[in-house]
Amino acid sequence: MSHLLQSTFIPTTPTTLRRRSVFPTTHLRKTHVVESKIREIFMPALSSTMTEGKIISWMKTEGDKLAKGESVVVVESDKADMDVESFYDGFLASIIVPEGSSAPVGSPIALLAESEDEISLAKSKTPTPTSTSSPAATASVTEEVSTVAAAVTVTSSSDAGPVKMASSIHPASEGGKRVVASPYAKKLAKELGLDLRGVVGSGPNGRIVAKDVEAAAGSAPIGVAAAAKPSGGAPAAPAVELGTTVPFTTMQNAVSRNMVESLAVPTFRVGYTITTNALDALYKKVKSKGVTMTALLAKATALALVKHPVVNSSCRDGKSFTYNSSINIAVAVAIDGGLITPVLQDADKVDLYSLSRKWKELVDKARAKQLQPHEYTTGTFTLSNLGMFGVDRFDAILPPGTGAIMAVGASQPTLVGTKDGQIGMKNQMQVNVTADHRVIYGADLAAFLQTLAQIIEDPKDLTL
């Protein structure tokens, strides 16, 4: 949530018109001085790591009337798209930063006039796009206008109760002027040749998300829908133009910063082989009830962390470490244009079925870029599962501010020797844990992995 800047209103009436008259006051008509109120809407800090934001779409156009608490613009932070609201009634007088452009946190992105008559005055004070990046230019604008903060809200997908209408105008299109959709939905629609103006969105405030595009394209999965697009006999065009240089997205910039920051942490890795026959059998029993393998692994990991709190600890200042009071399992999810780690909070205390429902909700919100900051920044231990893609082993990079991350490989039939000297077939998976060696030592990880293996190989406690 952005915070409210304290500021004063600057009168626009020239000072020469307000000097004391030399004539007796008895000969003067009583007058009222009207002061114009022009405020800035600035780029809010939507997360602790955000340094700049990208304008995804303006939900209002210049000249539109705004009510206090009404959403004005959708901003892309390093991990999510969020609505920016106005704290004041007024008119959107001038848009400083257009759609698709970025601006530093705290810089003005639009001007808000108190009355319709002051719109032209606000336009005259609008800096040019190049001046928004100049500190001097920004300072001169700030002298003439007062600043208003923007409230930041993220509406859960479960809060939005879309009404399916047959209208060709989308409810978030402001009367057909503009369609509000997530970046991935726009990209997907472009690939499928779909006109978003005819799509009804199910996201917050009627915003179109990827699943709406898929449904409009015939309820086919993304890959199938793209492949089914008629090509007229011509080969499909490549998704990217080879040989071009593409700048990082806001999310990719955030991932890049985090990965570079992680290089400063002394890490080490420990691997372990776990037999999964019992876990596979349990999964087959509970899959029909909506339980996912991700939830099973998260639950097993959380129960193991209860017995090994040092593996759930974190070091942030290089001088001390914290035994975290909650076990919050972050799970890496690949989304369009980047990577995000939705968090299953208190995974050791939440039952398996609720954990699975929560995971599905988090994934849907992540793909719609609607996660709230606390849903992806509060992890204490991270899982990265490439086993679902058939990868048998890999190493993961430690996220800054956490103590360990576990890379989970695929469970595969393996020939193993039994204790009685016989050869048998068992399903086994490889897990590799990367840990902060300032806090966690080899013996700590070995003990943790032994406990995890015991839970997975005898998973009766997972359903309690």
Residues taking part in catalysis: 437
Query: In terms of DSSP H, where are the helices of 145-249?
Result: 183-192, 210-216, 222-228
- Contacts (Cβ under 8 Å, ≥6 apart) of 40: 108, 110, 111, 112, 141, 142, 145, 146, 147, 148
| Three-state secondary structure call for residue 92 | strand
- The whole-angstrom separation of Cα 93 and Cα 109 is 11
What residues contact residue 125 under an 8 Å CB cut-off, 6+ apart? 38, 94, 111, 141, 144, 145
CA dist., res. 332 & res. 385, Å (int)? 7
Compute, in degrees rounded to 10, the torsion defined by CA atoms 266, 267, 268, 269.
-170
Strands (E), 7-89: 38-42, 52-58, 65-66, 71-76, 81-86
What Rg do the C-alpha atoms of the chain give, in angstroms?
A: 28
Contact 191/404 with Cβ under 8 angstroms?
A: no
